[in-house]
Structure 1
Amino acid sequence: MSGRDASIETIQRELTAFARRARHKASQLHPELSLVSYSMLDLMHERGGCRAADLAAHFMLDKSTVSRQVGALEKLGVIVREVDPDDHRGQILRPSEAGLKLLNEAYQMRRQSFLERFTGWDDDDLAGFARYLVRYGEAD
């Protein structure tokens, strides 16, 4: 296996492990919410609210999947629906006060985990890693 192929294998393995750890951490914070649910809630907060169709497009999911996730979030009381001021037929989804509290707890937990994980990294390594992650994400 060439050096490039070996590197790609390592990256694939490590990103898969990263995703598994993220799912596990999400289940620790709230056993009824998946990583996808947290991600949707986070996007709603980041955008100041959004429509279900926006969630489907952003996460590349079909509308029925988003509908189930939104229903679960609503049942748990972590989102609210508001009439879309631009189109009164549509609805804007936003985190409720409980949802904002949950997001803050998740943020604090993630931040602490990252602080611990990067304790031995110098500033240049950390900045380089951040640049590489941005570059990787921009490929989409």
Structure 2
Amino acid sequence: MPGGREESVDTIQRELTAFARRARAAAARLHPELSFVSYALLSHIDERHGCRATDLATHYMLDKSTVSRQVAALEKLGLVERRPDPADHRVHVLHPTEAGTRALSATHASRRAAYQERLADWSTEDLARFAAYLLRYNRNT
């Protein structure tokens, strides 16, 4: 177990980096045509029942050109479509296509199974505590 506060922060940083690398590799295995960023954007669009590209850039703290390239790739794969915003016809809202929703469903089931397997020996209390810590951590970003 880590000792002081600084050592704990160093351990957290190292382990979150390892977690991100594993997540990126898992995303590539689950849907080879989607990068981790593309998968994250598609998931976000689906969870929000549509959103603007600028909302994605703001939420993920990405450059608009990065989001534009990723959205173009998702469109090319037929996973995302643009629809006029009913409130402002100058703006387009991104929505998952049926193919996008199917890809997310299949990937979600595989990811959930992988997490279930990896966390199988954790107690219910440990899982609840870890989930609460992640929510707390992400709420501050």
TM-score normalized by the length of structure 1: 0.95
- Hey, what does 1:40 align to over in structure 2? 41
Match of 2:103, SS state, is: helix
What does residue 9 of structure 1 align with?
10
Cα deviation for residue 104 of structure 1 reads 0.6
Partner Cα distance (2:69, 2:134) in 1: 31
**What percent identity do the matched residue pairs reach?**
58
Residues 52 and 94, structure 2, Cα contact 8 Å, conserved in 1: yes
What TM-score does the superposition give when structure 2 sets the normalisation length?
A: 0.94
Q: Structure 1 unaligned runs (5+)? A: none
Provide the residue aligned with 1:64 in structure 2. Answer: 65
1:83-122 paired onto structure 2 within 5 Å? 83-122=84-123
After TM superposition, the structure 1 = structure 2 runs for residues 19-58 of structure 1, keeping only pairs within 5 Å, are 19-58=20-59
Given the superposition, is the C-alpha separation of residues 118 and 2 from structure 1 closer, same or farther in structure 2, using an over 3 Å criterion?
closer
- How does 1:129-140 map onto structure 2 within 5 Å? 129-140=130-141
Q: 2: CA distance between counterparts of 1:99 and 1:6?
A: 42
Q: Which amino acid aligns with 1:41?
A: L
Alignment-mate amino acid for residue 137 of structure 2:
Y
Tell me the CA shift for residue 2 of structure 1. Answer: 5.3
Give the AA of the match of 1:110.
R
Deviation digits for residues 48-106 of structure 1, max 9, x if unmatched? 10111111111111111111111000000001111111111111110101100111111
CA RMSD of aligned residues (A): 1.3
Q: Which runs of 4+ in 1 moved over 4 A?
A: none
Q: CA deviation at 1:133?
A: 0.9
